[in-house]
């Protein structure tokens, strides 16, 4: 993202990002939003645009319970301590009735703990870590985006068709990467018991030594590769792997790579013929998605990214929860969020009562170079409801509320 845009989003975060703030607080309902607006501008920027568009539409249609929704947005800087301080201020000073947002999983986990301790509803819009739904889940935390287990599981159907015996994995050495590899291995082994994992590479996040990682994988002679790197690490791995012939005649499957936020910056270095999760907005023609895409284009003269969908659906999740609760009381909102149903640009979703995880799904398809940039083709939507562990497994992982 250009420097001007980064400064813009930083300013939004610094000054609160107030959307249509009316004169009287009695006529408004305040929602506290936070994200790494400066550190993750290319991701948090589209999220904020989607969120603001949703809030604008909701208020134009009369608001919620006869009041306008007001979003107060601030920048966490990607730091849990900063996020907690902001959350405290939003509740005590700004009068926020619930919290939404974040992309970094470690920040989301910290806010989840805050929500439980302070009995305030937190909608974790974008964090991926499974822990938010399961091992560190609680009654006040709800998650919108598909978690790592769900995303990795969506790739297994195609992997099984390839019947590859020897697999290598590469993922960043933190919670997201570890959970991604663990989930993929678990689900693939259940479907294909004779599979063998012959190499596991764990580069430090955003510090990948791509040449060494590529060589280590090549030395293991795998038939297939599971990749969970993203951002600058993905760019280096994809480029180095192509130059060294790592991907030649090998099946590669990858998390996140088909999302515009990650594949577009790769330009001509984008990989081809990888099977990935992503968001091919240009090939989606459904009654749920078309109005969203048209409204987004009209509002911003731009096309949506995946995080635009996340932000937009966050706004409508807030609306649905408050309307169902008939109140902004925290306990009533918590109860309303359990089993909450609503429409999203990707189709209908439910916040599961067993773990507060939404069933929002994702597209899977193949990467391809077109006009010097990477795109995702043959995209097919996977409903998140079909890619979760069994209820029995969830109960074992999730602490009692």
Q: Identify the CATH class of 150-280+362-397.
A: alpha beta
One DSSP character per residue, 76-110 reads -TT-HHHHHHHHHHHHHTS--SEEEE--SHHHHHH
CA dist., res. 226 & res. 217, Å (int): 11
pLDDT tens for the chain, residues 1 to 401: 344 444 444 444 444 444 444 335 689 999 999 999 999 999 999 999 999 999 999 999 999 999 999 999 999 999 999 999 999 999 999 999 999 999 999 999 999 999 999 999 999 999 999 999 999 999 999 999 999 999 999 999 999 999 999 999 999 998 899 999 999 999 999 999 999 999 999 999 899 999 999 999 999 999 999 999 999 999 999 999 999 999 999 999 999 999 999 999 999 999 999 999 999 999 999 999 999 999 999 999 999 999 999 999 999 999 999 999 999 999 999 999 999 999 999 999 999 999 999 999 999 999 999 999 999 999 999 999 999 999 999 999 999 87
CATH number, domain 3-145+289-345, options 3.40.50.1580, 1.10.530.10, 3.30.360.10, 3.40.50.2300: 3.40.50.2300
Question: How many contiguous H segments (helices) and E segments (strands) does the chain have?
Answer: 14, 14
CA dist., res. 48 & res. 13, Å (int): 10
DSSP 8-state symbol, 351: B
CA dist., res. 164 & res. 167, Å (int): 7
**Helical (H) or strand (E) element with 49:** helix 41-60
Terminal Cα-to-Cα distance of the chain (whole angstroms): 41
Q: Is 124 helix (H, G, I), strand (E, B) or coil?
A: strand
Q: Is 111 helix (H, G, I), strand (E, B) or coil?
A: helix
pTM of the predicted model over 0.85: yes
Burial of 174 (C-beta count, 10 Å sphere; 0-12/13-18/19+):
middle
Tokens of 200: 């596991």
One DSSP character per residue, 318-335 reads HHHHHHHHTS--HHHHHH
Phi, psi of 301 (to 5 degrees): 50, 45
Residue in the block written with tokens 């091992």: 135
> Quick check: 319 and 69 in contact, CB under 8 A?
yes
pLDDT at residue 374, as a whole number: 96
Q: Is 132 helix (H, G, I), strand (E, B) or coil?
A: helix
pLDDT at residue 401, as a whole number: 75
List, by residue range, all CATH 3.40.50.2300 domains of the chain: 3-145+289-345, 150-280+362-397
One DSSP character per residue, 227-282 reads E---HHHHHHHHHHHHHTTTTTT-EEEEEEEESHHHHGGGGGG--SS-EEEE--GG
Q: Other CB atoms closer than 10 Å to residue 389's CB: what's the count?
A: 20
CA dist., res. 371 & res. 373, Å (int): 6
Cα angle for residues 270, 271, 275 (degrees, 5° grid): 125
């Amino acid at each position: 993202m250009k420097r001007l845009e980064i400064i813009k989003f930083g300013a939004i975060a610094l000054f609160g990002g107030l959307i249509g703030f009316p004169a009287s607080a009695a006529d408004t309902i305040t929602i506290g939003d936070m994200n790494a607006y400066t550190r993750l501008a290319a991701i948090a920027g589209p999220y904020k645009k989607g969120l603001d568009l949703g809030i604008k539409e909701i208020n134009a249609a009369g608001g919620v319970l006869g009041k306008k929704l007001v979003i107060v947005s601030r920048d966490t800087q990607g730091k849990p301590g900063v996020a907690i301080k902001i959350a405290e201020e939003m509740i005590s000073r700004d009068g926020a009735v619930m919290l939404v947002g974040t992309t970094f999983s470690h920040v989301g986990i910290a806010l989840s703990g805050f929500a439980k301790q302070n009995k305030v509803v937190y909608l974790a819009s974008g964090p991926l870590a499974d822990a938010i739904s399961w091992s560190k889940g609680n009654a006040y935390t709800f998650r919108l985006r598909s978690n790592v287990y769900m995303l990795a599981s969506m790739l297994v159907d195609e992997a099984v068709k390839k019947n590859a015996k020897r697999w290598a994995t590469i993922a960043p050495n933190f919670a997201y990467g570890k959970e991604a590899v663990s989930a993929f291995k678990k689900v693939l082994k259940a479907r294909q018991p004779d599979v063998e994992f012959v190499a596991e590479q764990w580069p430090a996040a955003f510090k990948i030594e791509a040449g060494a990682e590529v060589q280590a994988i090549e030395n293991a002679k795998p038939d297939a590769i599971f990749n969970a790197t993203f951002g600058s690490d993905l760019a280096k791995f994809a480029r180095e792997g192509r130059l060294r012939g790592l991907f030649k005649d090998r099946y590669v499957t990858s998390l996140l790579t088909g999302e515009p936020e990650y594949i577009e910056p790769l330009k001509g270095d984008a990989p081809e013929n990888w099977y990935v999760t992503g968001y091919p907005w240009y090939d989606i023609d459904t009654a749920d998605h078309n109005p969203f895409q048209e409204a987004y284009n009209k509002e911003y003269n731009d096309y949506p990214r995946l995080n635009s969908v996340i932000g937009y659906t966050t706004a409508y999740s807030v609306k649905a929860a408050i309307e169902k609760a008939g109140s902004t009381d925290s306990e009533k909102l918590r109860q309303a969020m359990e089993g909450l149903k609503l429409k999203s640009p990707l189709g209908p979703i439910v916040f599961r009562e067993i773990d507060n995880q939404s069933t929002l799904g994702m597209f899977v398809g193949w990467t391809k170079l077109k006009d010097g940039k990477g795109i995702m083709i043959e995209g097919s939507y996977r409903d998140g409801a079909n890619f979760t562990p069994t209820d029995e497994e969830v109960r074992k992982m999730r602490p009692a509320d």
